[in-house]
Each structure stands twice: as structure tokens, then as C-alpha cells.
Amino acid sequence: MGSKDILKIFGENVQKYRKEQNVSQEKLAELAGVHRTYIGMIERAEKNITLRNMEKIAKALNVEINDLLAK
């Protein structure tokens, strides 16, 4: 799995869980303590996310980090 692949998988899963929970990018950013444009960049696989921010986003979505990395 290449780095682009994992970024794409992570971004798609963030978007999937966010939409399932009917949460906007802006609200998710607020809950995770990151900038709202950062969420969009993650969902589009444009940003190489840190482990700390992965944890923040997972907690904000009430999922495990592994859920966000699952294919």
C-alpha cells in the first residue's frame, strides 16, 4: 500500500463516518480542534495527516483509528 493509497482510504472513511453522523466538515473540525479546511484536505487525500490529528478526528467521530484505516 502506497502513501497515497492510505491517505485516500483514510479520507474516504472520514467522509463516510462524518456523513453517516450528519456532521458537516466545519462541525467535525470544531469537535476535533482543527481548521475546517484541514478536514476537506484530508477527505480529498491532499494532506499527510499526523497520528495526533488522526486520533483527534477518530475521537470526534466516536470511532477507532482502525475504523478510519479500514479498506
In a domain, 24, yes or no: yes
Chain position carrying cell 482502525: 66
- 3-class SS of residue 69: helix
In a domain, 69, yes or no: no
Residue 2: the pLDDT is 66
Amino acid, res. 35: H
CATH number of the domain encompassing residue 56: 1.10.260.40
Please give the Cα distance from 63 to 65 (Å, whole number). Answer: 7
Note whether 45 and 8 are within 8 A (CB): yes
Q: What is the CA radius of gyration of the chain?
A: 11
In tens digits, the chain (71 residues) has pLDDT values of 566 699 999 999 999 999 999 999 999 999 999 999 999 999 999 999 999 999 999 999 999 999 999 98
What is the domain range of residue 27? Answer: 3-61
In a domain, 71, yes or no: no
Residue 70: the pLDDT is 92
In a domain, 35, yes or no: yes
In a domain, 13, yes or no: yes
Looking at the structure of the chain, the number of domains it has is 1
Please give the Cα distance from 67 to 10 (Å, whole number). Answer: 9
